[in-house]
Amino acid sequence: MNVNDPVPIWDGSDVVGAVLNVTSNIFILPAVALALWRWDLASVIVYTHVFVASVLYHMCRAGLVCAFEFEKHEMTDYLFVYRAIVWTLTRLSVRNAREHLVLFIFFTGVVYLCVQAKLSDTALPLFGILLPLTSALVTAVVLNRRMFRNDAWAGVTFALLGVAGAFMFLASPHDYWWSHPLWHFFSMTSTLTAELATFRVRPR
């Protein structure tokens, strides 16, 4: 996915690619279900927004149906995905809802500016992922706080994200029809394991 793509990648003839890219968004739903079971309604909303935005974006990209202009679908997908990433990362090392909210609003603003500026797919993760993650790490070290409730699930989460990143950044654009659904699988599954890694370590 490239924020500078001018037109959809398909014209509707690649049915398999279209179906895979749309339906693979279901892999975020287990995280939604877990958050709902925990009565973490904010996470439910954040993850559900990702599901809806991504489904609409890929339906439009496949040439099936567009709710509005393709470029706006693309921008919305980026914004909601990175908002979810920031939501999860800013939950690390905090001890109350106020801390989480302040960090979330700050880093979301940074990400929104970067997306609007149409930074490259390699530069955007530096601001949307590395920066809030580094902030959480520094906070944990300086204030002697624990980042994760379950370190094993945290390790699984980072492993899944590593594999997901390979499909996102290393696959050829011609392989998008199958590589991006795998990105969905690994990255969205990591949302579930991130919930498990931070279980009970959330604002109350």
- Per residue in 71-111, pLDDT (tens digit) is 899 999 999 999 999 999 998 888 888 899 999 999 999 99
pLDDT tens digits for 51-63?
999 999 999 988 8
If you average pLDDT over every residue of the chain, what do you get? Answer: 87
Q: How far apart are the C-alpha atoms of 135 and 9, rounded to whole Å?
A: 36
Q: Quick one: average pLDDT of 169-174? A: 82
Q: Inform me whether the pLDDT recorded for 128 exceeds 90.
A: no
Q: In percent, how much of the chain has pLDDT > 90?
A: 53
Amino acid at 171: A
Residue 194 tokens, joined: 């991130």
Give the integer Cα–Cα distance in Å for 1 and 9. Answer: 10
> Which pLDDT belongs to residue 67?
92
Residue whose pair of structure tokens reads 């801390």 in the numeric block: 99
Given a cut of 90, whether residue 118 has pLDDT beyond it is: no
Residue 21 above 60 pLDDT?
Answer: yes
Tell me the average pLDDT across 126-149: 89
In angstroms, the first-to-last Cα distance of the chain is: 36
Distance CA 190, CA 188 (A): 5
DSSP per-residue string spanning 64-120: S--SS-HHHHHHHHHHHHHHHHHHHHTTTT--SHHHHHHHHHHHHHHHHHHHHTT--
Which pLDDT score is estimated for 199?
67
Residue 200: what pLDDT?
A: 59
Mean predicted confidence (pLDDT) in 17-41: 93
CA distance 82 to 127: 10
Q: Say if residue 123's pLDDT is above 90.
A: no
AA letter at 183: W
Burial 68-101 (b: 16+ CB within 10 A, else e): eebeebbbbbbbbbbbbbbbbbbbbbbeeeeebe
